[in-house]
Amino acid sequence: GYGRFGLGYTSADVNPMGGAASTWVEQRLRLNIVASTTSDMGVEFGAKMRMQYDDSNTMVAGNRAQFFVSYEGFYAQVGNITTALDEDTAGLFYATEIGLTDTGFGDSRSDFFAYESKAGNGNKVGVYGKYTISGVTLEASFINPDHYDLNGVVAGSVANDKTETSFVASYEGGPITVAAGATWNGAGIDGNDVWYLGGKYAFNDAFSAGLTYINEGESALVDLGSTTSIYGTYTVGAMGVTAYVAQIDNYDTAAPKSDTSFGIGASYDLGGGVKLLGAVHRDYDEETFAEAGVKFAF
């Protein structure tokens, strides 16, 4: 897991915790408890529970369990799974995420399922599979949000109970990284289909740049249009700088102040898994979001 803490700032009236403070101490502690064993034939069986504290939380509970099986190039999960989209093996779906809190306004604005770090709907069960060979990775995931057929039986059941299906194919070789992925019935919402294409090229050891196009879904029967982002990273020694611009188009929702958001972030590696991280963004409402701090892996 990891810990991170630092300072955050927003020009908006309400901060991410729902309060009025424009500056705050940013905090997260993520503990992954992973236990596994390997059978005589070399198949690894394991399970993971996460305990995560985020700023303004009052306490920490373990999340819903994830089980995994790994054998050579094959890897699968059962239970509280990651999804093919959310796993983002190639790093192109969340390519604009920078800074202490991995924030990027080029992220998809659609609803879709992801691994849940906190308490969640126990009626939601998924299966995820990944196969890697010669730089090509194929991923598929299926999540049924009403697996035990509890709807109408217990309170708190989801209204959107379609099975979400996702596929992603990606390739990493030499300077080239490409990925294509799609989700049907994202977050269990009937007809909420999302797909994306992304590519990145490393011009040399120091500079790489890429482009990601996301065709957003329909979260509440309204088409969210598309999100296109370009991004580039320049690395020199322990220092790295990443900048991005993201543009939204063809959406049927109310228009924000701007169709464009952008951000720039820097990281400095202190060694031992410790990094200094900072970033400044301008979002679609033309508000400024900034943060700086330290993140340490353990």
- Measured CA to CA, the distance from residue 278 to residue 6 in angstroms comes to 9
- Measured CA to CA, the distance from residue 220 to residue 67 in angstroms comes to 32
Please name which of 80, 77, 53, 86 lies closest in space to residue 65, comparing C-alpha atoms. 80
- Residue 3 as a binder of a copy of itself (CB under 8 A): the answer is yes
DSSP classification of residue 103:
B
- Residue 285 as a binder of a copy of itself (CB under 8 A): the answer is no
| 65 vs 206 by CB, closer to a copy of itself | 65
Extended beta strands in 135-259, E state: 136-144, 164-173, 176-184, 194-202, 207-215, 226-236, 239-249
- Measured CA to CA, the distance from residue 197 to residue 150 in angstroms comes to 36
Report CA 126 to chain centroid distance, whole Å.
17
Residue 222 C-beta: closest distance to a copy of itself, Å: 28
Residues 160-199 that bind a copy of itself (CB under 8 A): none
Q: Which of 11, 38, 250, 253 touches a copy of itself by CB under 8 A?
A: 38
- Residue 18 as a binder of a copy of itself (CB under 8 A): the answer is yes
Residues 76-95 that bind a copy of itself (CB under 8 A): 78-79
- Residue 12 as a binder of a copy of itself (CB under 8 A): the answer is no
- Measured CA to CA, the distance from residue 176 to residue 201 in angstroms comes to 5
- Residue 254 as a binder of a copy of itself (CB under 8 A): the answer is no
- Residue 239 as a binder of a copy of itself (CB under 8 A): the answer is no
Contact characters 261-280, a copy of itself, x per CB under 8 A: ---------xxxxx------
- Measured CA to CA, the distance from residue 67 to residue 164 in angstroms comes to 19
Residue 113 C-beta: closest distance to a copy of itself, Å: 15
Stretch of residues binding a copy of itself (CB under 8 A), selected from 18-26, 102-110, 135-143, 179-187: 18-26
Q: Which of 11, 36, 253, 288 touches a copy of itself by CB under 8 A?
A: 36
- Measured CA to CA, the distance from residue 252 to residue 256 in angstroms comes to 11
Task: Give every CB contact of residue 222 below 8 A, 6+ residues apart in sequence.
Answer: 252, 253
| 150 vs 169 by CB, closer to a copy of itself | 150
- Measured CA to CA, the distance from residue 250 to residue 248 in angstroms comes to 7
Can you give the binding site for a copy of itself, defined by CB under 8 A?
1, 3, 5, 15, 17-21, 24-25, 27-29, 31, 33, 35-41, 43, 45-47, 49, 51, 53, 55-65, 67, 69, 78-79, 118-123, 125, 127, 147-150, 153-154, 270-274, 294, 296-298
